[in-house]
A and B are shown apart, each in its own frame.
Chain A
Amino acid sequence: MAEAQNIPVGSTTAGSIAVAAESTVVSRMSAPPSFDVADFPVPHGREEEWRFTPLERLRGLHDGTAVATGEGVKVEVDAPAGVVVETVGRDDARLGRAGTPVDRVAAQAYSAFEKAGVVTVPKETVLTEPIRIAVHGEGGTAFGHQVIELGAFAEAVVVIDHTGDAVLAANVDYILGDGAKLTVVSVQDWDDKAVHVAQHNALVGRDASFKSVVVTFGGDVVRLHPRVEYAGTGGEAELFGLYFTDAGQHQEHRLLVTHNTPHCKSNVVYKGALQGDDAHAVWIGDVLIEAKAEGTDTYEMNRNLVLTDGARVDSVPNLEIETGEIVGAGHASATGRFDDEQLFYLMARGIPEHEARRLVVRGFFAELVQQIGVQDIEERLIAKIEEELEAAVA
């Protein structure tokens, strides 16, 4: 059920549902997944996975010229009692278990990082306070690796906050034991010049629940690759995203949920607002239901609200189904302009234009924000959305 409504000039909303024996999600990548950067050719920009990305603004992350500098980023972990926080070397066996790099920048990050962070919530430990990971850019270039692992029936909320200025390529692994519940909020609140490219791999255990909230406001280029696979039946994944793309920014979210196990659920909702010249948002939503994944229930949706002329959205939902024995599968994508009739209606009730715009945009994001379930994050997001809108008015 693809839908496209009221598409502004400079936008694409091309969706597809394919019923096929073999996945094109996998086959259309220019190289198979690998931990070694040498296995990937340097992209030239026409590859399926790179065609929307401005390679010239990646500061060399894609072609091997980016070199880690001493003061790249500073990472601080603030965790409640009972959580084990470690910094480990490259040879630690716990790294890279949730997924393998799928493109050259992710492989570059895996090939180049020196120390990795491992945060472990032991089994049956239920946290009442969030784990907070502050990633602050100090103006340099860095390659990172972070593992967050929850033992069986553990429950945790993790907030990863990206601020400052940096060129950062990273892989993040989320490993959920059986029955574990993990909510991860990743906020990209970078300064204007930052470049951030990362792959997020979630491995969802039997009957485990994974909720990812990706919030992207800042940066020059942000390109994130949230991916989910299941390690057992009964797993659930909710992937929520919210972005506010300003003039000149490139914000790209490429999702892949692989239903490789029977009776798992996934629900993807990403919403973005764009304003200003050359604001560019890209959303790729791939869902693959493998032949053995009977009883799968999945839905993905992307909505974009274009507030001004000069912004561009590329939204590509893609659903591939290799078995008909499923509960449900669907996708929707829509990109619309700010609705002048809504503005007129609110203004005709005395509400000044900037406040009317704020109401409409807040309304657009409200439903999504309410689903985050972490109150201080919800409040911060609403404040941040207001701030973005104020900047637009000024």
Chain B
Amino acid sequence: MATLEIRDLHVTVEADNATKEILKGVDLTVKQGETHAIMGPNGSGKSTLAYSLAGHPKYTITGGTVLLDGEDVLEMSVDERARAGLFLAMQYPVEVPGVSVSNFLRTSATAIRGEAPKLRTWVKEVKEAMERLNMDPSFAERNVNEGFSGGEKKRHEILQLELLKPKVAILDETDSGLDVDALRVVSEGVNRVRETGEVGTLLITHYTRILRYIKPDYVHVFSAGRIVESGGAELADKLEEEGYESYTKGGASA
């Protein structure tokens, strides 16, 4: 069973000619089949955790370990991490002019699966996955994320999640900027992948709204660069009522 183990992770970032520590000792274990929600106020370091796990060059790991099935993730390049089974659904997916969605998806699937998918089954696979996400077939001929609406970008991220079948999926604020209809469609996509029981999900969000559609097994409160409280789904209800105030009052020095 696939397991992602994060131990005492410390991460810094360079900003304004100074080195700033963003993550200050994160401990978390995500097993296949589990869904963990990470909730926290803006600036608490949630997205830094997501991008650090994926290997974004902007972030420097200064301490701790990240293991995926015992393999050292921090030693891997960005593409190696993806091929090892990590997937990051981004909050702000990047435009790639001149590269069509269909070309991108096939290139990616070829890299992840280690061989080019058979054309006939692949076309069918993509078509069906797009239909489930209410995406028009013409979408495949557009350039990656170019001119996409906020909802289209997020659907495109979840389309990749469904096609690439990672061991661990990190969803970075996938709910932000979505109206209720789009949120439902995107959540259903995530739930289809979860129901296979083959993915561990790390759901990063500022709001509890998405947790009505995607039920977490565990909820963690993130504040000032670390997990400050963990619990079951009921912790989300508490946050819904009380907000993050009790976690940020003492924690933030500024």
Residues of A at the B interface (CB closer than 8 Å) are 339-342, 344-353, 355-356, 359-360, 362-367
Contacts and interface: CB of A to CB of B under 8 A. Distances in A.
A351 B99 contact: no
Given A344-B56, A363-B98, 17 more contacts: A341-B94, A342-B94, A342-B95, A342-B96, A348-B88, A348-B90, A349-B104, A349-B112, A351-B107, A351-B111, A359-B96, A359-B99, A359-B107, A360-B98, A360-B99, A363-B97, A364-B97
Contact of B94 (A344, A355, A365): A344
Interface in B111-149: 111-112, 143
Interface stretch (B38-46, B78-86, B222-230): B78-86
B143 A363 contact: yes
A366 B98 contact: yes
Pick from B88, B111, B143, B164 the residue with the most CB of A within 10 Å: B111
29 contacts: A339-B94, A340-B57, A342-B95, A344-B54, A344-B78, A345-B93, A346-B104, A347-B77, A347-B78, A348-B54, A348-B55, A348-B78, A348-B79, A348-B81, A348-B82, A348-B90, A349-B82, A349-B164, A350-B82, A350-B164, A351-B79, A351-B108, A352-B79, A356-B79, A359-B96, A360-B96, A360-B98, A363-B99, A366-B99
Contact of A347 (B82, B90, B93, B98): B82
A341 B56 CA distance: 9
A146 to B, nearest CB: 34
Contacts of B56: 344
A355 B110 CA distance: 12
B160 interface: yes
Interface in B217-250: none
Contacts of B77: 347, 353
5 cross-chain pairs, A with B, having the tightest CB-CB distances, nearest first: A363-B98, A350-B82, A350-B111, A347-B78, A349-B108
- The size class of the interface chain B forms with chain A is 20 to 34
B79 A350 contact: yes
Contacts of A364: 97-98
A367 B77 CA distance: 31
B104 A359 contact: yes
Main secondary structure of the interface of A (DSSP, over half): helix
A369 to B, nearest CB: 10
Contacts of B97: 363-364
Contacts of A344: 54, 56-57, 78, 94
Contacts of B108: 346, 349-351
A339 B82 CA distance: 20
Contacts of A356: 79
A340 B94 CA distance: 10
Contacts of A345: 90, 93-94, 96
Contacts of B55: 347-348
Interface centre among A349, A356, A362, A365 (most CB of B within 10 A): A349
A352 B56 CA distance: 14
B99 A362 contact: yes
Interface in B7-26: none
Contact of A352 (B90, B98, B111): B111
Contacts of A352: 79, 111
- Most-contacted residue by chain B among A351, A352, A359, A365 (CB, 10 A): A351
A348 B82 CA distance: 6
Nearest to A349: B108
A332 to B, nearest CB: 15
A340 B51 CA distance: 14
A356 B96 CA distance: 10
Contacts of A349: 82, 104, 108, 111-112, 160, 164
A363 B96 contact: yes
Contacts of B99: 359-360, 362-363, 366
A236 to B, nearest CB: 25
Nearest to A366: B98
A50 B112 CA distance: 51
B111 A355 contact: yes
Nearest to B89: A348
Nearest to A356: B79
A356 B78 CA distance: 12
B79 A353 contact: yes
A252 B212 CA distance: 60
Nearest to A362: B98
Contacts of A359: 96, 99, 103-104, 107
Nearest to A369: B98
Nearest to A358: B107
B217 to A, nearest CB: 25
Q: Which of A347, A359, A365, A366 has the most CB of B within 10 A?
A: A347
Nearest to A352: B79
Nearest to B96: A342
Contacts of A346: 96, 104, 108
Nearest to A345: B94
Contacts of A366: 98-99
A192 B73 CA distance: 43
B85 to A, nearest CB: 10
B107 A367 contact: no
A244 B107 CA distance: 24
Given A362-B98, A363-B97, A364-B98, A347 B79 contact: yes
Q: Which of B79, B90, B97, B107 has the most CB of A within 10 A?
A: B79
A26 B216 CA distance: 72
A356 B160 CA distance: 17
A351 B56 CA distance: 14
Contacts of B81: 348
A356 B54 CA distance: 16
B225 to A, nearest CB: 22
Contacts of A347: 55, 77-79, 82
Contacts of B103: 359
Contacts of B93: 345
Nearest to B146: A363
